[in-house]
Structure 1
Amino acid sequence: MSALPEGLNHRALSMLRAIVAGRAQISCSAEPDLFIDGVPCCDQYLAHTLAHEGLIEPAQRGTRGELVPAALTDAGVAALNLAPAAA
């Protein structure tokens, strides 16, 4: 039995933690890409899923394709709060 919130693996939780730490940017688009420390995230499919599931979003408005800071939604905060602490 997994101690992770339903549907979230360790990679997803790491992505959410990077956003909380202010290390992530997201592209303003229908399929938002995530960048961590200025580098494209290794799993853009998961980044798209986190956005479409309402866990992450742009912290501010931007033009199409622009990179802006990423933020957790209330659902993203709740999911992270349910997760075990990072080792």
Structure 2
Amino acid sequence: MAGVGTATLSGRDRALLRAVAAGRCKLGSGWQPVLLVDGLACADSAAGHRLVAAGLIDPPDPDRPLAQASITSLGWRALAS
């Protein structure tokens, strides 16, 4: 998903990006980023990793076990297109 275009961004990924943009998500650090939406783990356990790897959300801070997820400028552009 690197160099993400709107054709490769799934509906689920777009919905998760909207949730991150709305401040509803937290990102946990670990062997794979854990994305929480409204305090619940995302059913798509690979979603956090996928969005971080694509550069759409900022990677988790390894010094903080759980932090607010934040969308990147690339993520904002993906949502706008």
TM-score of the two chains, using structure 1 as the length reference = 0.77
Number of positions where the alignment pairs a residue of Structure 1 with one of Structure 2? 77
The alignment yields a C-alpha RMSD, in angstroms, of 2.0
1:14 aligns with 2:6: no
TM-score of the two chains, using structure 2 as the length reference = 0.82
Pick the structure with greater CA Rg. Answer: 1
**Identical-pair percentage:** 35
| Alignment partners' CA distance in 1, 2:52 and 2:59 | 9
Task: Could you tell me which runs of 5 or more consecutive residues in structure 1 were left unpaired when the two chains were aligned.
Answer: 83-87
Matched to 1:67, the amino acid is L
1:33, distance to aligned residue in structure 2 (A): 0.9
The equivalences for 1:59-74 within 5 A come to 61=61, 63=63, 66-74=65-73
Q: 1:68 to 1:58 in 2, by over 3 A?
A: farther
